[in-house]
Every structure is written in C-alpha cells, then in structure tokens.
Amino acid sequence: MTNDTAPAGSDPRAGTVAEVFAAFLKLGLTSFGGPIAHLGYFRDELVTRRRWLDDRAYADLVALCQFLPGPGSSQMGFALGMMRAGWPGALAAFAAFTLPSAFVLFAFAMGAARVAGPVGMGAIHGLKIVAVAIIAQAVWGMARTLCPDRERAAIAVGAVAVLAFVPGVFAMVGAIALGALAGLALGRGTAQPVGGEVAVPVSRGQAFAALLAFAAALTLLPLLAGTSEALAVIDSFFRAGALVFGGGHVVLPLLQAELVTTGWVTPDDFLAGYGAAQAVPGPLFTFAAYLGAVMGPVSSPLAGAALALTAIFLPGFLLLVGVMPFWDRFRRMARAQSLMQGANAAVVGILGAALYTPVFTSAIGDMRDFTLALVCFVALMAWKSPPWLVVILAAMGGIGLALIG
C-alpha cells in the first residue's frame, strides 16, 4: 500500500464527494447480511460497475480491514471514500453508509419503550430469541474459518475458560492477548503476498498522529470517565470498538460487559435492540445508536446515540489511517500473521461465551422459546434465508407464543 501511486487502470481520486455520498447511500440502504455480505455489495458496485479500482487493489484493502480490529465493512467504505475523494470522501462514505440504519435503530429505541400488550411484547421477545440463532450462526461460521485445527480450537476453549472464572471486559482483553501469544508460539502464520497498490492520501506523519490519538484515547479515557457522563459513555464505546476482532458480532460481548453489567442497559433492552439490528441494512455497529438512546448516563437520547455512534467507530478508523502507509511491509511479517491467528481463535471463544450468557440465558425461558430459536437457526443455516427475513419470522413467532400464553 502506498500513498503516491495508483493501481493500473484506475484514478483513485478522480471522483467528487457528492459521487461518493450517492454511491454509499445506495449501499447503506440496500446492504443487508452483515460485513462479509457488505464486501460483496461493495465489489459489485465499486469494482465491477463503477470501476473505481481493480480487483487486486480491492483484495488488498479487504486484507487490511480484516486484519485490523474494528468494523471491517465500514473501514472498507472509509478507505474507498478516501481513495476516491480524499478525506472529505472518507467522511461522506461513512455518513452515507452508516446513517440510514442508525436512524432506524434510533427510532426503534424511541418506540420500544412505548410497546405494550401481548403483540408488542411478543415481537420484542421474538427479537431476543432470534439473537440466539444469529450468534450461533456467527460462532459456527467463525469457528470453521478461524479454528481449523486442534491447537486453535484449544485456544478458543481457553478463552471461554478465562471468561468463566474472570468475567468482564478486561478479562476479554486478557483472553485475546493470551490467544495472540499462543498463536505466536504456534508459529503457523505465513507472510502474505503483496497485493495491488492502493493510493491513499495519508502521509506517515498523519499515520503516526492517528496511532498516537488511538493510544492516548485508550489510555486516558478510563482515567477521565469518572469526571462526566459523556466521557463515561465515550470510554465504554471507544474501548468496545477498539477490541473487536473478527467481525461485527464480536462487539456483542464487549458491549454487554460495558453496558449491561454496569446497569446502564437492561438485558431485555440489549437483546431486543440487537435483534432489531439484524433487520436493517448497513453496519452492525449502528447498534450503538440504539444503545446510546436507551442507556441511562446521558439524559438526552439523541446526544447519547450520537456519542455512542461516534465513539464506537472512531478507534477502527484511527487504526486504519495509522496502518495504511505501512501495510505492505507489515503483512509480509509471518509473526504478525501468527499473532492474529491466535487472537482470532480467542475471539471465537469470547463470542461462544456470549452465546451462552447473556444471549441464551436471557432469551430462552422454555422449550417453546428454544423451538423458535432452532427454527430461526435452521432458516439461516440450512435454508440460507436472509437475516432480515428471519428477524421478521422470529417477531411473528414471538407474537404467536405470546398470544398462546
């Protein structure tokens, strides 16, 4: 990756901010299915149809965003917007891709508190149940990809054991760190070949400034969190966004540890919002807009949603900017790949622990609930139904269970 040459056949900054905004608004309104599906939408729209870059450059960006913690598809959008129209293009891509689902989830947060009666409460219960199926699908898929051998499966189980005895967000950090060290000891990583060169307007000075800002925020925010409600909210969401390896679903246990265990958000509200987040297009991280609106520390729901949304996306973007000028050199380091293999295996264990608690224990009360969760899981895994359709199915099933009594 370079900051002065472009891939053959493309002009990375030939577009306008308006063009970037329009392209990503279309994606933000239509990109259902989670981060992996988003990458397919991006390629179809921006590589195949609009020809903003070629496949080699696109693959290089995908590798970078999958390597870093943070929301992978949103980081891809940020980088692609930057390539096309500089820093304003990056911000336009982020806003257009993120705000549609954020507005929908904010509206849901405002309406969910007013829901009453068997129909409304049944639909909310169905959203909690569908979260079981969706997280189970994520654990299964990630385990097959990230734990393909006995050693990495053992790392995943070890992460579960850590959380079983030492719950909390810092235990998750420790489990990821131990997993990374175990991956380094295994030494299974191999140097990655250089992909297409990607032109980005990021100097080394700007990259170092972004990395410094990331480190300063991660270090200082916990010390300042006690001085104001706003800083407390920013600290919780920034830390969650900084530690998400392996996909958007992994943010669930991190946010649960930050918000539910502290009493800011009730378990029922948390799981209902997570289920609703599966039915909207765009990045899963917009779940933060819902949480910011319903949580206690910030008196204004709109202010809470804005703070939470900004704080959870910011660390991933800072890391992306900080690594861009050095990515080609870094990806050729076999030890770096080994570290990430171990960390990703630990992430599978963390998500598996979250599948049990709070997801399963909070949503499944009896065999009827379990049956509905199983139907949703089979619809996702065997029938390959889109998540938004399964969410509707679960809401209707929850209403049916409530009416049956």
Q: Work out the widest C-alpha separation in the chain, in whole angstroms.
A: 65
* Residue 90 DSSP SS3: helix
pLDDT number for residue 5: 40
pLDDT tens digit sequence for 59-70 = 778 878 878 889
Tokens (6 digits) for 135: 């997280």
Per-residue tokens: 119: 């129909």
Selected residue with higher pLDDT from 6 and 308:
308
> Looking at residues 174-196, what average pLDDT do you find?
83
Q: Can you give the three-state secondary structure of 20-54, one letter per residue?
A: HHHHHHHHHHHCCCCHHHHHHHHHHHHHHHCCCCC
Contact 376, 390 (CB under 8 A): yes
Q: What are phi and psi of 94, to 5 degrees?
A: -60, -50
Instruction: Give every CB contact of residue 348 below 8 A, 6+ residues apart in sequence.
Output: 139, 142, 143, 146, 147, 156, 159, 246
Q: What tens digit of pLDDT does each residue of 249-276 get?
A: 888 899 999 999 889 999 999 999 999 9
Confidence check: pLDDT of 88 > 90: yes
Q: Which residues contact 276 (CB under 8 A, 6 or more apart)?
A: 105, 108, 112, 127, 290, 391
Is residue 336 helix, strand or coil?
helix
Q: Is-contact 155 378, C-beta < 8 A? A: no
Q: Map tokens 């991956």 to a residue.
A: 183
Residues above pLDDT 70, as percent of the chain: 93
- Name which of 11-15, 303-307, 384-388 the model is least confident about: 11-15
Residue 233: its pLDDT value, please?
92
Looking at residue 192, its pLDDT comes to 67
- What's the pTM? 0.84
Q: Which of these ranges, 126-130, 165-169, 316-320, 360-364, has the smallest mean pLDDT?
A: 165-169
pLDDT of residue 184: 94
Between 165 and 40, where is the model more confident? 165
8 Å CB contact between 202 and 347: no
What pLDDT score does 7 carry? 43
What totals of helices (H) and strands (E) does the chain contain, helices first?
Answer: 18, 0
Give 304-318 pLDDT, tens digit per residue: 999 999 999 999 999
Residue 2 β-bridge partners: 199
Q: Is the pLDDT of residue 54 over 80?
A: yes
Average pLDDT, whole number, for the chain?
88
The answer to whether the CB of 358 falls within 8 A of the CB of 260 is yes
Most confident of 90-94, 244-248, 265-269: 90-94
- Here the tokens at position 64 are 């970078």
Q: Which of 138-147, 213-222, 225-234, 350-359 holds the top average pLDDT?
A: 213-222
- Which pLDDT belongs to residue 9? 40
pLDDT of 343 over the 90 cut: no
Check if the beta carbon of residue 273 is closer than 8 Å to that of residue 199. no
Q: Extract the tokens encoding 285.
A: 């991280």
- Check whether 30 has a pLDDT greater than 50: yes
